[in-house]
């Protein structure tokens, strides 16, 4: 019984260590999201936007966009990756785009996210 408890303890150590690690929370670039996070890159590669999708992106021309996301969040991996692909395919000229990652507590180091996560925000 003691051997089983010791084995269980040893096997659970990586889980305990990883549970204390915080995900990245700060400003990040689209390029870094795709290069540092496989799930973002896979979603990006798998998505093939329609011509209508690409055309709709032109409505964002000249706008400022704020994207709040979690690198640990599967919804963010899916939606943000698609958005980045649409930006790339449409070649729309934004006045500014900011990607801000949040931790598990849905907050970022600069305090931008607060209760807004996860969302895309665009000036009117």
Q: Quote the pLDDT of residue 94.
A: 93
Q: Tokens 């706008």 correspond to what residue?
A: 63
Q: Quote the pLDDT of residue 4.
A: 43
Q: Quote the pLDDT of residue 5.
A: 38
Q: Quote the pLDDT of residue 93.
A: 93
d(CA 23, CA 77): 14
Helix axis angle, 74-90 to 38-46, nearest 10°: 50
Strand pairing partners for 27?
100
Residue 2 corresponds to which tokens in the numbers above?
């003691």
Q: Quote the pLDDT of residue 63.
A: 92
User: Which SS3 state, helix, strand or coil, does residue 89 take?
Assistant: helix
Please list the alpha-helical segments (H only) found in 37-94. Answer: 38-46, 51-56, 74-90
Q: What is the pLDDT along the chain (124 residues), one digit of tens a residue?
A: 444 434 334 444 444 444 444 566 567 899 999 999 999 999 999 999 999 999 999 999 999 988 888 888 888 999 999 999 999 999 999 999 988 888 887 777 777 776 555 566 666 5
pTM > 0.75: no
Q: Quote the pLDDT of residue 10.
A: 45
- Domain positions in the chain: 23-122
Q: Quote the pLDDT of residue 95.
A: 92
Q: Quote the pLDDT of residue 92.
A: 94
């Amino acid at each position: 019984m003691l051997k089983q408890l010791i084995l269980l303890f040893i096997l659970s150590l990586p889980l305990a260590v990883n549970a204390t690690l915080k995900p990245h929370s700060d400003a990040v670039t689209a390029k870094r999201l795709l290069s540092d996070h496989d799930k973002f890159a896979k979603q990006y590669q798998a998505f093939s936007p329609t011509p209508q999708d690409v055309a709709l992106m032109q409505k964002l021309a000249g706008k400022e966009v704020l994207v709040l996301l979690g690198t640990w969040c599967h919804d963010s991996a899916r939606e943000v990756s698609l958005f980045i692909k649409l930006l790339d395919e449409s070649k729309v000229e934004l006045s500014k785009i900011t990607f801000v990652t949040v931790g598990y507590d849905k907050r970022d180091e600069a305090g931008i996210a607060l209760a807004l996560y996860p969302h895309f925000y665009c000036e009117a």
